[in-house]
Structure 1
Amino acid sequence: MSQLFEVHPDNPQPRLLKQAAQILHAGGVAAVPTDSSYALVCHLDDKGAAEKLRRIRQVDDKHHLTLLCRDLSELATYARVDNRQYRLLKHATPGPFTFILEATKEVPRRLSHPSRRTIGLRVPEHKVLQLLLAEFGQPLLATTLIPPGEHEAMNEPQDIRERFQKQLQLVVDSGACPMQPTTVIDLSGDEPVIVRQGRGDVTLLGLTPLDD
């Protein structure tokens, strides 16, 4: 039976965040709020937890998982970023953007894209998640909480707990999320490529929206 932590969105209870971090350090998979939608998260270096996360979503190793980082100093550890890319990242973080970047050797090979050696990285702008990442002390491996065979992310913590109570160790409830996906930008090539237009405004980065 998964636990449900009701966390205040503006003043998260430190005790609950500490317990949540302990559950994740112990190999648990949790549903947490983000600045786009609820996501499944687990320990980056726990192979069993990562496999469990993929099983819940029913995705294979070609599905890009994302590293949720507290700030750009963490991001640089896991991705190769040149000065031009860093300036763009600085404009977009924290915020509802996911960037596909060339992975460094710090990222376990099983977690990067099998043919491209890339990884999705993002710095979310969500107080509860930011404080959980700070308590956890390192990035979390994540994927949007979209049930198998469906196209929309789940947004009601009680429903998430009821549906995945035998697969998740924890659901962190801090209320509804915006329910808009992140904007995905591929920075692994010579020029930025907008893969998905989402909540993040690409004009802030000097890019042209896909529908223009």
Structure 2
Amino acid sequence: MAQFFEVHPDNPQLRLLKQAAQILHKGGLAAIPTDSSYALVCHLDDKAAAEQLRRVRGVDDRHHLTLLCRDLSELASYAMVDNRQYRLLKHATPGAYTFILPATKEVPRRLSHPSRRTIGLRVPDCRVTQALLEELGQPLLATTLIPPGEDEPLNEASEIRARFEHQLQAIVCIGACPREPTTVVDLTGPEPELVRSGRGDPAVLGL
């Protein structure tokens, strides 16, 4: 049964986020708000939690998972970034963009793409997400909360609770989030490639 935390979107109660962070530290799976939609998240280093995240989301190991990072300095620990890529990242973060980048050795192999050795990373522009990441002290492994067999992400915590409370250990609620996933940009090639157009404006990146 998931613990339900109602958090103020602009002034989140740190005691509630501390409790949510403790659940994640112990291997729990949580639904949290972001600047695009609600996301499923778990501890980066917990293999069992990552496998449960994939099961709940209904995806296999070829589906790119994303690391939610606090800032670009944290992102650099998990992705190899050259000067050109860094300028693009700095221009678009924080924001509703996910960037596919070459993974560093800091990223467990089971979490990166099995054939490409890449990882999705992003810096969300959401006070609650940022406060939770600060409390946790490291990135979160994440995927957009789209139920298996459906196309649209869930954006109401009450609906997430009704459908997933027996599969999650925590739900952080701020009310409705946007019902639009991030814009995904692949930065592994010679030029940025738009993989999915979403909430982030591709024109900001010249795409």
Equivalent in the alignment of 2:149: 149
Equivalent in the alignment of 2:59: 59
CA-atom RMSD in angstroms: 0.7
Equivalent in the alignment of 1:8: 8
Post-superposition offset of 1:206: 2.2
Gaps of 5+ in 2: none
AA in 1 matched with 2:198 = G
Equivalent in the alignment of 1:91: 91
Partner-residue secondary structure (3-state), 1:80: coil
AA in 1 matched with 2:47 = K
Q: Please, what TM-score do these two structures have when normalized by structure 1?
A: 0.96
Superposition pairs for residues 91-110 of structure 1, below 5 Å? 91-110=91-110
Partner-residue secondary structure (3-state), 2:131: helix
Equivalent in the alignment of 2:23: 23
Equivalent in the alignment of 2:82: 82
Equivalent in the alignment of 1:210: none
Gaps of 5+ in 1: 208-212
Post-superposition offset of 1:202: 1.8
Partner-residue secondary structure (3-state), 1:163: helix
Q: Percent identity?
A: 77
- Between the aligned partners of 2:161 and 2:36, the Cα distance in structure 1 is 19
Superposition pairs for residues 1-212 of structure 1, below 5 Å? 1-207=1-207
AA in 2 matched with 1:15 = R
AA in 2 matched with 1:198 = G
Q: Please, what TM-score do these two structures have when normalized by structure 2?
A: 0.99
Post-superposition offset of 1:161: 1.1
